[in-house]
């Protein structure tokens, strides 16, 4: 669909979320998890919902000063594949869009990011992985903003690790350190003590690692890399 380009969206401290998905259960699941995490931290996180790309564009146009992250499904009634991402970013260049997809394809992940998405998150299985990414963005308060800084603490160097499809992964120095402790069998509490981090920060590092390697649990991560 054609869309009128609007000015580039500047960086924002808005904490609201826009969930764009035509499946009611997905929207409800994310809404419930976000509200649960927000309640734990005493934060107020507005969640906007859209079933179509057209609804999403209208909502973002009206509420973008409150929306800090857009979670966009690739398969919508009026958009398919990367067309929805392209149309959204054409209308709002620089908008903070994360692609949600039922397909965990590394090729599609790289394709989405190369076209301007912040990340590509498979929605199949545990939506806690999606919440982990949202949390790392600082959505739930100051503590999480500190965790987000920790997740991007170093320039990304070359890494000896490879993903499930054989692609070479780049991890930060801290991510590599946490990964090696996880593979050694250390718990989050033990890693936190060794690295002088909070358990919440360690949990966010582990969630980021699970996303990078395309697995759903520490056990799967350990099994894949051993």
Residue 169 covered by a domain: yes
* pLDDT at residue 11, as a whole number: 41
- Which whole number is the average pLDDT over 119-128? 70
Q: What own/partner pairs with CB < 8 Å and gap ≥ 24 does 33-39 have? A: 33/127, 33/128, 33/130, 33/131, 34/131, 34/134, 34/139, 37/131, 37/135, 37/140, 38/139, 38/140
Model confidence at 58: pLDDT above 90: yes
136 and 157 in a single domain? The answer is no
122 and 158 in a single domain? The answer is no
- The CATH number of the domain holding residue 217 is 1.10.10.10
Residue 5 covered by a domain: no
Between CA 220 and CA 104 the distance in angstroms is: 15
Model confidence at 17: pLDDT above 70: yes
Model confidence at 126: pLDDT above 70: no
Residue 162 covered by a domain: yes
Q: Which of 112, 140, 168 is the last residue of a domain?
A: 140
Q: Which residue has the higher pLDDT, 7 or 16?
A: 16
134 and 179 in a single domain? The answer is no
66 and 159 in a single domain? The answer is no
90 and 202 in a single domain? The answer is no
Q: What are 69-123's pLDDT values in tens digits?
A: 999 998 999 998 899 999 999 999 989 999 988 776 677 778 888 889 888 887 7
Model confidence at 154: pLDDT above 70: no
175 and 108 in a single domain? The answer is no
**Total domains in the fold of the chain:** 2
Residue 2 covered by a domain: no
Q: How many CA atoms lie within 13 A of 198 on its CB side?
A: 11
When the pLDDT of each residue in the chain is averaged and rounded to a whole number, the result is 77
Answer whether 178's CB lies under 8 Å from 205's CB. Answer: yes
Question: What's the domain range around 136?
Answer: 16-140
- Measured CA to CA in angstroms, residue 105 lies from 51, 153, 167 at distances of 23, 27, 12
Model confidence at 24: pLDDT above 80: yes
Instruction: Please report the sign of the dihedral spanned by the C-alpha atoms of residue 96, residue 98, residue 130, residue 62.
Output: positive
Q: What are 162-195's pLDDT values in tens digits?
A: 665 555 666 677 778 888 899 988 899 999 888 8
């Amino acid at each position: 669909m054609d869309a009128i380009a609007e000015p580039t969206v500047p960086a924002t401290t808005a904490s609201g979320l826009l969930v764009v998905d035509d499946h009611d259960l997905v929207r409800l699941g994310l809404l419930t998890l976000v509200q649960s995490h927000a309640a734990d931290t005493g934060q107020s996180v507005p969640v906007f919902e859209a079933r179509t790309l057209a609804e999403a564009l209208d909502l973002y146009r009206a509420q973008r000063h409150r929306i800090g992250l857009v979670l966009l499904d690739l398969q919508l009634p009026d958009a398919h594949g990367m067309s929805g991402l392209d149309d959204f970013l054409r209308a709002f260049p620089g908008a903070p869009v994360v692609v949600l997809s039922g397909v965990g394809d590394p090729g599609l992940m790289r394709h989405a990011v190369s076209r301007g998405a912040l990340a590509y998150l498979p929605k199949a299985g545990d939506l806690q992985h999606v919440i982990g990414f949202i949390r790392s963005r600082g959505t739930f308060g100051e503590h999480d903003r500190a965790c987000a800084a920790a997740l991007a603490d170093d320039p990304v160097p070359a890494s000896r690790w490879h993903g499930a499809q054989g692609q070479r992964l780049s991890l930060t120095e801290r991510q590599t350190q946490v990964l090696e402790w996880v593979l050694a069998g250390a718990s989050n509490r033990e890693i936190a003590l060794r690295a002088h981090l909070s358990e919440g920060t360690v949990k966010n590092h582990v969630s980021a690692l699970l996303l990078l390697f395309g697995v759903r649990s520490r056990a799967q991560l350990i099994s894949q890399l051993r």
